[in-house]
Structure 1
Amino acid sequence: MKVLLDLQYLNVATTGIKTYMMELAQAALDFPHPEIEWIFSHDPKSQAADQTFKNPESKFQRLNYHLDYFRWKEFQLPDLVKKVQPDILICPDFVSPAASLPCKRLTVIHDAFFWQMPQNYPLWWRKYFLSLIRKGLKEDTKIITTTEYSKQALIKYLGNSLPIDVIYQSPKSISKEVDQLLIKKYSLDRTPYFLHVGTFDKRKNLPLLVEAFEAFLKSQEEAFKLVLAGGPGQSVQMNDYPLIERLILEKGLEDRVILPGYISDAQIRSLYQHAFAYVFPSENEGFGIPILEAMREGIPVIHSDQEALMEVSGSAGIAFKTGDLSDLAEKMILLGREKAFREELVKKGLQRSKEFSPQHFIEAFQHLILNAAPRI
């Protein structure tokens, strides 16, 4: 079987989708199957490093990117399919070409956010992108998604005329390199801290975490800190960063809440290694990679009871009622007081994280690819 993996979107992909694409490509190389030949549309590392369209500073730059993306999906990718003649095309970024193709398609739709949370996206862009998604769902297409929760959400909005399979992904492979710069700068080796890594999108509900942290501090004699690593939300509608800054000032938490911005993988790993606990208060997720990353590093996890997060964490994390400030604060207090409970969560998390390995990830794709030989 000849499989073409579309990696063009890596030139702008961030967070979850970038991790998905990079881990899938690397797992295909690390765990080859004798009956599958992988062809990458782009070299993963060089495409991910391309800065041409990253962080556009004007509407003109954003328009140029959208035109480039459209040209790729609707003209260049179909031409590449004709050239290499794959049996299967995998598009891991929601969109497959609208053109008819002489091969089967596996299109990854990670979540249903575009349908569930329209208020978080510019109206014109959302309509345009949803149109691209729908036009590519044709012919011999199978949809791949990340959790059973996402599958049921997609069935609600797309119907069940196309088959949808769930494949659990693996978390980001973090380099063994460790950069202690932030640990030393903020004296985090001497102060216990709660951690969150990711963008400040509204659905992440980080203002709730800041307020719960304030309530937690009032119950503690020991000085704790909160580290919120990552950059602003991906659009004005989605961005909670300014609100977080205001909350910190209003509550007098300037010395307690740390906003280091975007940081390197080596710095992320050092934060994981020293953290007291990881907190993930998100209102909506398609998967929840940070839960597994934290568990893999031996950190107990507190997360909202959102369905995808419950599915991924199993019973290895502490769940609080989504959006409930007092419940989140209580769970943080519980973790601070119960040392044995914390140690039990660490053991459960380490075991749970092993179930989401790169090998399991690619084997699920290999099974699907080989079974697609007769038909999808």
Structure 2
Amino acid sequence: MDKFPLLKVLLDLQYLNVATTGIKTYMLELAHAARQFPHPEIEWIFSHDPEEQANDKTFKGPQSKIQKLNYHLDYFRWKEFQLPDLVKYHQPDILICPDFISPAASLPCRRLTVIHDAFFWQMPQNYPKWWRKYFLSLIRKGLKEKTEIITTTEYSKNSLLEHLGNDLPITVVYQAPKILNGVSSPSFLPEHKLAKEGYFLHVGTFDKRKNLPLLVRSYADFLAKSQSAKKLVLVGGPGQSTVMNDKPIVEELVKSLGLEEKVILPGYLDDSDVKALYEGAFCYVFPSENEGFGIPILEAMEFGVPVIHSDQLALMEVAGAAGLHFATGIQSELTEKMILLERERDLKARLVQAGKARSEDFSAQKFIAAFQDTILRSPLAK
């Protein structure tokens, strides 16, 4: 029997040199899953070694305006010149760009462009005007012929249809959470005076859409009404721009409410510290007003941590019936759910059990299988 010719798939991993949160997880887990679960009809080609690119510090950390400009020039040069040259060299059947943007140039191959969410259209106030205009122009110029859009949830798909129309097919591929390998840090909790199941947890940047000031105020009300000794840990760095960054607001709020000993702000942490926090958390709280997916929900559930989340549609979709939700932006409802979870041990146990079951619906194998199916069965394949 004749074998099918291998489909060559080029995966663009350039953006890993600056990605820090959800897109970084997406790109790394996609690359890892492609290696771990190969398909006999697909040959993967990586533009960069994923680990080396993720560890590249050239454009990470605080930067001057000149450094930021140099990064944008480097990124533009990659997308519009170097990546098309790489396509010519490898002659792939399919190019996957997992960071919103595909080259503006015409290419001989099909494209799968991952647009994770519609934030740039939905929340213009959260981005500098010039940057948003520039980034949206790059997105649109890359949506060429023979392109299929991949997105993360049905919510994101419906949002993209609203803003981009239906000229190009849009496919939902559920992603996998980050695998926190290795041993958790045994010293992190005692160093920060945290007890097992003695704190609420949030992991992510301080972007405005995350609603972290709301969480801090709800936590203050929780303390006043419950007399609880539980603390609040907010892991992560500043928002992606001055306009989007709520970290100074959170820091000032913590100070004004006298919560300096109760709210822990450890910044970015390595996997061993994050793993220790998940293992010891009483509850994960996700108050975001807009998400394309919500990876931490699955990370928490996998560790047996119950989740309180806003009723934002993507979070409802990912959590299923395994989370405890509250009306987005309503401080009093979040406080009520925090109090309820502490008082009702049976509720906590049910959420833990449901969460573990729900987390099994999102695995690396299912993630790559959905991609493989899209690669092989796309309406653009013929």
Short-chain TM bin: over 0.9
Alignment of 1:342-361 (within 5 A): 342-361=348-367
Deviations, residues 109-166 of structure 1 (Å, cap 9, x unaligned): 0000001111111111111110000000011000000000000100111010000000
Moved more, 216-225 or 344-353: 216-225
CA distance in 2, matches of 1:82, 1:215: 60
CA distance in 1, matches of 2:350, 2:196: 23
Structure 2 residue 307 is matched with structure 1 residue 277: no
Mark the CA change 1:97 to 1:374 in structure 2 (over 3 Å): closer, same or farther: closer
Aligned residue in 2 for 1:208: 214
User: What's the offset of the Cα at 1:221?
Assistant: 3.5
CA distance in 2, matches of 1:149, 1:209: 24
| TM-score of the aligned structures, taking structure 1 as reference length | 0.98
Structure 2 residue 78 is matched with structure 1 residue 96: no
Aligned residue in 2 for 1:49: 55
CA contact (8 A) 1:6 1:89 kept: yes
CA contact (8 A) 2:196 2:280 kept: no
Deviations, residues 81-131 of structure 1 (Å, cap 9, x unaligned): 011000000000000000010100000000000011111111111111100
CA distance in 1, matches of 2:62, 2:267: 18
User: What's the offset of the Cα at 1:222?
Assistant: 3.4
Deviations, residues 151-201 of structure 1 (Å, cap 9, x unaligned): 010011101000000000000111132113320112212561100011111
User: What's the offset of the Cα at 1:372?
Assistant: 3.4
CA distance in 1, matches of 2:144, 2:168: 9
Aligned residue in 2 for 1:302: 308
SS in 2 for 1:187: coil
Aligned residue in 1 for 2:336: 330
Alignment of 1:72-91 (within 5 A): 72-91=78-97
Structure 2 residue 136 is matched with structure 1 residue 130: yes
Aligned residue in 1 for 2:248: 242
Moved more, 271-280 or 51-60: 51-60
Alignment of 1:6-85 (within 5 A): 6-85=12-91
Mark the CA change 1:69 to 1:170 in structure 2 (over 3 Å): closer, same or farther: same
SS in 2 for 1:233: coil
User: What's the offset of the Cα at 1:56?
Assistant: 4.3
CA distance in 2, matches of 1:215, 1:129: 40
Aligned residue in 2 for 1:313: 319
Letter of the structure 2 residue corresponding to residue 313 of structure 1 = A
CA distance in 1, matches of 2:236, 2:277: 12
User: What's the offset of the Cα at 1:62?
Assistant: 0.4
Moved more, 1-10 or 51-60: 51-60
SS in 1 for 2:226: coil
Unaligned runs of 5+ in 1: none
For 2:233, which of 227, 234, 237 is the aligned residue?
Answer: 227
CA contact (8 A) 2:110 2:380 kept: no
Aligned residue in 1 for 2:162: 156
Letter of the structure 2 residue corresponding to residue 37 of structure 1 = E
Runs (4+) of structure 1 exceeding 4 A deviation are none
CA contact (8 A) 1:191 1:225 kept: no
Letter of the structure 1 residue corresponding to residue 45 of structure 2 = I
Aligned residue in 1 for 2:171: 165
Letter of the structure 1 residue corresponding to residue 85 of structure 2 = D
CA contact (8 A) 1:170 1:357 kept: yes
Letter of the structure 2 residue corresponding to residue 354 of structure 1 = E
CA distance in 2, matches of 1:199, 1:208: 15
SS in 2 for 1:245: helix
Aligned residue in 2 for 1:186: 192
For 1:261, which of 259, 262, 267 is the aligned residue?
Answer: 267
CA distance in 2, matches of 1:10, 1:222: 41
CA contact (8 A) 1:191 1:223 kept: no
CA distance in 2, matches of 1:284, 1:52: 30
CA distance in 2, matches of 1:182, 1:251: 25
Q: CA RMSD in A?
A: 1.1
CA distance in 1, matches of 2:196, 2:95: 51
Letter of the structure 1 residue corresponding to residue 344 of structure 2 = E
Aligned residue in 1 for 2:3: none
| TM-score of the aligned structures, taking structure 2 as reference length | 0.97
Alignment of 1:106-145 (within 5 A): 106-145=112-151
Mark the CA change 1:77 to 1:219 in structure 2 (over 3 Å): closer, same or farther: same
User: What's the offset of the Cα at 1:220?
Assistant: 2.1
User: What's the offset of the Cα at 1:374?
Assistant: 6.5
CA contact (8 A) 2:203 2:234 kept: yes
Letter of the structure 1 residue corresponding to residue 313 of structure 2 = E
Mark the CA change 1:252 to 1:8 in structure 2 (over 3 Å): closer, same or farther: same
Letter of the structure 2 residue corresponding to residue 193 of structure 1 = Y
CA contact (8 A) 2:206 2:247 kept: yes
SS in 2 for 1:219: helix
